[in-house]
Amino acid sequence: MLTKDDKINNSSSVPPLGAEGARNNLYPIFLKAKNLNVLIVGGGFVAEEKLTFLLKSSPDACVTIVSPMFREGTKELAKKGCVSLVEDKYKKRYLKGKHIVIATTNVPEVNVKVHKHCRKRSILVNVADNPPYCDFYMGGIVTKGNVKVAISTNGKSPTTAKRLRQFFEDVIPENVDDLVKNLNEYRKTIKGDFEEKVETLNEFTKGLVEKRKL
């Protein structure tokens, strides 16, 4: 049985590299978008696409979009969520109070300017289709109730992320959320400290997986 120190040392070890000596070093997190202020710069197709997927995953997200023009589809999306449309050219004053910024304009100079301004203010920024100017990527996302799976290709292939998303949407059963809720209730009945609860749940869920294989 591993000791606490063994677990720490084991968890901090570096995973083996891929066949070509490269691996994805991104750290995935799940943000409570309703507690954050998001800014999208640009009003074209890419901006609408980013807004669509953001609201699909987090309908309660608070978003501001700044652009001289907006697509009709973007205007309709804005009516369904907490989205503010500002008809104006980008100015750095729009960064005030923002936590995350996504630049989507078709003018590279503007996107670079947005990136520069955000970096100076320690604001996370994503310049669409320009990995060197991204602090994060918006990957493929699968949501089944309380279960959410995020997929990243390290910015190399959004198309692959899309295909993987479609695959997981098919293979993850709709009733997986029932399992999560039941396990949450079961967890409340387990005695012991955190580590003991984890071990008990691990054994229980391992049994479920083994039965599924049969």
For 147-206, the pLDDT digits (tens) are 889 998 888 888 898 899 899 888 888 888 787 787 777 667 777 777 776 777 677 666
DSSP 11: H
Which 3 state secondary structure label does DSSP give 2?
coil
Question: Which pLDDT band holds residue 21 (cuts at 50, 70, 90)?
Answer: low
176-189 vs 194-213: helix crossing angle, rounded to 10:
140
Contact predicate 37/60, CB 8 Å: no
Name the pLDDT band for 10 (thresholds 50, 70, 90): very low
Helix, strand or coil, per DSSP, at residue 104: coil
